[in-house]
Amino acid sequence: MRTERDSLGEKQLPDMAAYGINTARAMENFSLHHKKTNRNLIYAMVTVKKAAALTYAALHVREPGIYEAVAAACDDILAGQYDDDFVTEALQGGAGTSTNMNVNEVVANAALKRLGREYGQYDVIHPLDDVNRGQSTNDVYPTALRIAAILQLRRLSDACAALQTVLQEKENHYERTPKLGRTELMDAVPITAGEEFGAYAQAIARDRWRLYKTEERLRQVNLGGTAVGTAENASRQYRFRVMEELRRLTGIGLAAAEYPMDTTQNNDVFVEVSGLLKALAVNLMKIANDFRLLNSGPCGGLGELSLPPLQQGSSIMPGKINPVLPEMVMQCAMRVMANDSAISMAASHGELELNAFEPLIADSLLESIELLERAVILFRTKCAEGLTVREEQCRRHLEQSAAFGAQYIPRLGYDVVSAVIRKYGPDKAKQALDDMMQHI
């Protein structure tokens, strides 16, 4: 065991623990045993620390080799060598300070290890004086959240593009397959199965465009603004050079916020992004539920779609196959909608110069993006790609309906067509209407 000290006293830590006393206190204080801080957020924070270390190395802060070791330690962390040492809970007080402390301590100790030193020798490399130099949780944490969100949103956009392609392929394949269109679950007018898939594809296309545009909002970061956006303890040279390094490391066109105090205290950009994720969730839920309805039966329901059979659907009813993928997608969509509400509430509580509830915003936002990406991929590969349209069933439903009636209204009038359908029923009304048309 090793002993570490802070302003509150001493604590014993395992010799092999790369985290330090601040992390240990956070583990005790926030022992929810709920879920850990999102790993993508951690890695984005480590990338920020690497950008800062490379900047200070270039500015010749401290003796040669120190900040080079810090940057190399960040690479070790990003390679997954220290994953078990990131132990803070996702939900924590302090606006994410505990997670920033966790990252600072692990980076410092990983750098000490690279120099052949023991964990905890902070007189050589200090978690705060060196790793956190010129920084604050209040600029590192939101900057990292933006980076993590952008990278994940790009993957989600790619997943949506692939789903859109599949839906368009179905649109083309079934463009000449007639079927009954329905409004309010009731018979309406004739359409084609291709048109139905085309409408789904258009909805996903809009979601792709929305996700693409959100990156513009997320690119402005407050790194260098430190505590409240006034750049306290961050040199001018550092502020400019660290942004260049961060752009290079991430491949993202990041820009320094025009008004860092605004970016530090206001989280409406995350509410906006969450709202667009919710829009995607709404469309996915609608499409997934349509697939369930059209697949229903297959004997006692609509039975116009045939979804790929994935698993047995009942422990008591032999042969039953359930639409499990659409049901999973719908539940993911529900969680995203719930996360949107949490993000909205948390963002509205950004009292004065800082929002203390950014951990909830970060966890909810990144969870929503991750859930949607995985749900979209599974929806495409295990459901949309393998589904087929039961063309005979579609034709049967269309022929048994009165969907043909609308085409006669311009010549015969609504009331006349309606009366004929009521009198003869759908199976004989068409012939009666055709006869009436010949005598006009």
Residue 257 contacts residue 221 (beta carbons within 8 Å): yes
Pick from 352, 277, 288, 350: nearest CA to 323: 288
**197 shares a domain with 117:** no
Of 133, 163, 188, which one is at a domain's C-terminal end?
A: 133
Is residue 128 included in any domain, yes or no? Answer: yes
Q: Does any domain span residue 233?
A: yes
Contact 214, 269 (CB under 8 A): no
Same structural domain, 192 and 235: yes
Q: Which residues are catalytic?
A: 314
Q: What was the pLDDT predicted at 319? A: 86
Q: What is the mean pLDDT of residues 51-77?
A: 97
Q: CA dihedral in degrees (350, 226, 9, 93; nearest 10)?
A: 20
Q: Which two tokens mark 375?
A: 């749900």
Q: What is the mean pLDDT of residues 316-333?
A: 94
Same domain? For 64 and 148 the reply is no
Q: Is the pLDDT of residue 166 over 90?
A: yes
Please say whether the beta carbons of 270 and 365 come within 8 A: yes
Average pLDDT on 176-191 reads 95
Query: Residue 46 and residue 69: Cα distance in Å, rounded?
Result: 14
Sequence-distant (≥ 6) Cβ neighbours of residue 312 within 8 angstroms = 320, 321
Do 208 and 265 belong to one domain? yes
Question: From CA 138, how far away is CA 345, in angstroms rounded?
Answer: 19
Answer yes or no: do 70 and 33 share one domain.
Answer: yes
Coil, strand or helix: which one is 181? strand
pLDDT grade for 41, boundaries at 50, 70 and 90: very high
Among residues of the chain, what percentage have pLDDT more than 70?
100
Looking at residue 433, what is its pLDDT?
85
* Mean pLDDT value of segment 239-268: 95
User: Is residue 333 domain-shared with residue 190, that is, in the same domain?
Assistant: yes
Number of H helices, E strands in the chain: 15, 8
Residue-level pLDDT at 435: 86
Same structural domain, 109 and 157: no
For every residue of 222-255, DSSP letters joined together read -TT-TTTTS-TT--HHHHHHHHHHHHHHH-S--E
436's tokens: 């009436």
Q: Write down the residue that tokens 């995203």 correspond to.
A: 336
Give domain status of residue 406, yes or no: yes
Q: What is the pTM of this model?
A: 0.94
**pLDDT value at position 245?**
97
CATH of the domain at 59: 1.10.275.10
Give the pLDDT band of residue 403 (cuts 50, 70, 90): confident
Residue with tokens 């006669």, as numbered in its chain: 408
- Residue 150 has, within 13 A of its CA and on its CB side, a CA count of 22
pLDDT by residue (tens digit) across 347-390?
Answer: 999 899 999 999 999 999 999 999 999 999 999 999 999 999 99
- Burial of 84 from C-beta contacts in 10 A (0-12 / 13-18 / 19+): exposed
Q: Is the pLDDT of residue 313 over 90?
A: no
- For 262, residues 6+ apart whose C-beta sits below 8 A from its C-beta are 229
The letter for the amino acid at 211 is L
CB 124 within 8 A of CB 62: no
Closest by alpha carbon to 77, among 44, 54, 126?
44
Integer-rounded Cα Rg, in Å, for the chain is 29
Say which range, 66-75, 135-144, 309-318, has the weakest mean pLDDT.
309-318
At 354 the pLDDT is 94
Average pLDDT over residues 397-401: 91
- Strand boundaries in 84-125, DSSP class E: none
pLDDT score at 266: 93
Tokens 């698993």 map to which residue?
Answer: 311
Is there a single domain that holds both residue 175 and residue 295?
yes
Q: What is the pLDDT of residues 133-143, one digit of tens each?
A: 999 999 999 99
Query: Total domain count for the chain?
Result: 3
Q: What is the mean pLDDT of residues 10-23?
A: 95
Tell whether 230 and 352 lie within a shared domain: yes
The reply to whether 312 falls in a domain is no
Task: Select from 102, 133, 164 the last residue of a domain.
Answer: 133
Q: What is the mean pLDDT of residues 305-327?
A: 91
- Say if 35 falls within a structural domain: yes
What per-residue confidence (pLDDT) applies to 51?
98
Beta strands in 243-297 (DSSP E): 255-256
Query: Would residue 366 count as lying in a domain?
Result: yes
427 with 357, same domain?
A: no
pLDDT exceeds cutoff 80 at 440:
no
Looking at the fold, whether 328 and 351 belong to one and the same domain comes out as: yes
Q: For residue 56, name the pLDDT band (cuts at 50, 70, 90).
A: very high
Which residue range forms the structural domain that includes residue 409? 402-438
Of the candidates 133, 157, 189, which is a domain's last residue?
133
Give the C-alpha separation, 272 to 267, whole Å: 9
Which residues have C-beta within 8 Å of that of residue 370, sequence separation ≥ 6? 40, 152
Does some domain include residue 432? yes
Say if CB 102 and CB 86 are below 8 A apart: yes
Q: Provide the pLDDT confidence category of residue 21 given band limits of 50, 70 and 90.
A: very high
Note the pLDDT tens digit of each residue in 80-113. 999 999 999 999 999 999 999 999 999 999 999 9
φ and ψ of 234, to 5 deg: -115, 120
- Angstrom distance (rounded) from CA 174 to CA 396: 16
* pLDDT reported for residue 132: 98
* Predicted pLDDT at 417: 87
CATH number of the CATH domain containing 334: 1.20.200.10
Residue 301 predicted with pLDDT over 90: yes
CA distances from 93 to 8, 15, 395 (A): 17, 27, 60
**Does 310 map to a domain?**
no
- Mean pLDDT, the chain, rounded, equals 95
CB atoms within 10 A of CB 317: 8
Residues 432 and 368 in one domain: no
